[in-house]
């Protein structure tokens, strides 16, 4: 398993990162433990979670994924063998995260409470990479990389500088080691970097955004930031929430699949999505490749990529995803991928 630098932290992480958001809802604790064991056997020691998880988010399952990881690390006595990433939610109207029932925001009190609760659930005394799950400020579109810009409604927000100062105090306290962003824009990323440099605060190490064959908006501005500033991408939804596997082709609704279980796939149901997805699935089959493995291998091959987050609901799916690293994206195949992209540009931002 290849490793890459995590920003300028001195840490190296695996090319693939184990995503965990189904654990505690679609997956049981035992199934989560089995996936963790298998990932470690295959050389993946980079694990990503969030206080939000399991997905879909709800009060009854919030924090369950962190708890599952915590019981696994305690049982295996392997905390020092793992690079562990988790996230704090950004501003929202959800009231079940904080003890006093407040809507979430990146205030000092809420950041400290969130870190302490994550540490308790994870049964550890430090987090390797602590990420802002989404911005505290209003943005044009969740994910902060809209294809169509719509002015956001102004609202309350905590300054980036203030957030970074609080995170710096947590680094000094030893509760977190490094800082990352998620669903952030080029402006937001550069603003964090500006304040880090000006005040000697923790430098952002990574940015976790959606990135796939059907959503390459990261390339527009963030790719240059990632490469010049050493803030590499941790890509989520590289399979377009399963659409790029081909399993939903022709309107199929497989039993147990997320589209079948939950009505949360609108990002991948835009007017231009079906034609683009079919084109990529057909291209993979033309080359004798599994569509999911082609999509993952292509994402992993990008020069600004630090790690591709893979998620699965079974060990069999996890094995197939990891095996994608054996796929080579040749110049000829990449040219055909780019040709499809020019015809069907970012239908699912």
What per-residue confidence (pLDDT) applies to 254? 74
Q: Is 53 assigned a catalytic role?
A: yes
Exposed/middle/buried for residue 79 (C-beta within 10 Å: 0-12, 13-18, 19+): middle
Alpha helices in 200-330 (DSSP H): 222-229, 258-261, 273-286, 291-300, 315-322
Give one DSSP letter per residue of 96-114, joined into a string: SSSTT-PPP---HHHHHHH
- pLDDT (0 to 100) of residue 66: 98
pLDDT of residue 223: 98
Catalytic residue (choose from 53, 130, 268, 280): 53
Cα separation, 348 vs 148, in Å, equals 11
User: Residue 259: its pLDDT value, please?
Assistant: 66
The neighbour count for residue 150, using CB atoms within 10 Å, is 9
- The model's pLDDT over 82-135, given as tens digits with 9 standing for 90+, comes to 999 999 999 999 999 999 999 999 999 999 999 999 999 999 999 999 999 999
**Any idea where the domains of the chain sit in the sequence?**
3-343
Please report, to the nearest 10 degrees, the dihedral formed by the alpha carbons of residues 28, 110, 84, 299 taken in order: 90
In 3-state terms, what secondary structure has residue 32? Answer: helix
Q: What is the pTM of this model?
A: 0.95
Q: To which residue do tokens 């980079």 refer?
A: 46
* DSSP-based helix, strand, coil % in the chain, nearest 5: 40, 15, 40
Q: Which two tokens stand for residue 87?
A: 């996230």
* Residue pLDDT, tens place only, 259-268: 666 766 678 8
The low-confidence residues of the chain, meaning pLDDT below 50, are none
159 alpha-carbon distance from chain centroid: 23
Q: Which CATH class for the 3-343 domain?
A: alpha beta
Give the pLDDT confidence score for residue 148 in this predicted structure: 86
Residue 153 has which token pair?
Answer: 């409604």
- What pLDDT, on the 0 to 100 scale, is given for residue 264? 65
């Amino acid at each position: 398993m290849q490793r890459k630098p995590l920003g300028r932290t001195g840490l190296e992480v695996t090319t693939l990162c184990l995503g965990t958001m189904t654990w505690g809802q679609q997956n049981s604790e035992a199934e989560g433990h089995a996936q963790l064991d298998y990932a470690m056997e295959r050389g993946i020691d980079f694990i990503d979670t969030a206080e939000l998880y399991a997905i879909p988010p709800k009060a009854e399952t919030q924090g369950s994924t962190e708890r599952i990881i915590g019981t696994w690390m305690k049982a295996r006595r392997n905390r020092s063998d793992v690079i562990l990433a988790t996230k704090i939610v950004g501003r929202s109207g959800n009231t079940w995260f904080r003890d006093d029932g407040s809507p979430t925001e990146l205030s000092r009190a809420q950041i400290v409470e969130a870190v302490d609760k994550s540490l308790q659930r994870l049964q550890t005394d430090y987090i390797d990479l602590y990420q802002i799950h989404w911005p505290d400020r209003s943005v044009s579109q969740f994910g902060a990389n809209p294809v169509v810009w719509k002015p956001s409604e102004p609202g309350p927000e905590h300054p980036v500088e203030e957030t970074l100062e609080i995170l710096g105090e947590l680094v000094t306290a030893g509760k977190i080691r490094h800082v990352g962003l998620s669903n952030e824009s080029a402006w937001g990323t550069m603003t964090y970097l500006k304040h880090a440099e000006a005040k000697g605060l923790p430098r952002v190490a990574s940015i976790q955004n959606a990135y796939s064959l059907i959503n390459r908006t990261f390339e527009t501005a963030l790719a240059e930031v990632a490469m010049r500033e050493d803030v590499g991408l941790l890509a989520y939804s590289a399979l377009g929430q399963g659409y790029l596997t081909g399993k939903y082709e022709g309107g199929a609704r497989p039993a147990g699949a997320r589209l079948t279980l939950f009505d949360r796939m609108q990002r991948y149901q835009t007017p231009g999505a079906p034609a683009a997805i079919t084109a990529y699935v057909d291209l993979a089959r033309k080359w004798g490749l599994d569509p999911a493995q082609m999509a993952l291998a292509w994402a992993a091959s990008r020069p600004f990529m630090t790690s591709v987050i893979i998620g699965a609901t079974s060990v069999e799916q996890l094995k197939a995803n990891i095996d994608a690293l054996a796929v080579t994206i040749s110049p000829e195949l990449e040219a055909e991928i780019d040709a499809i992209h020019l015809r069907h540009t970012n239908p699912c931002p």
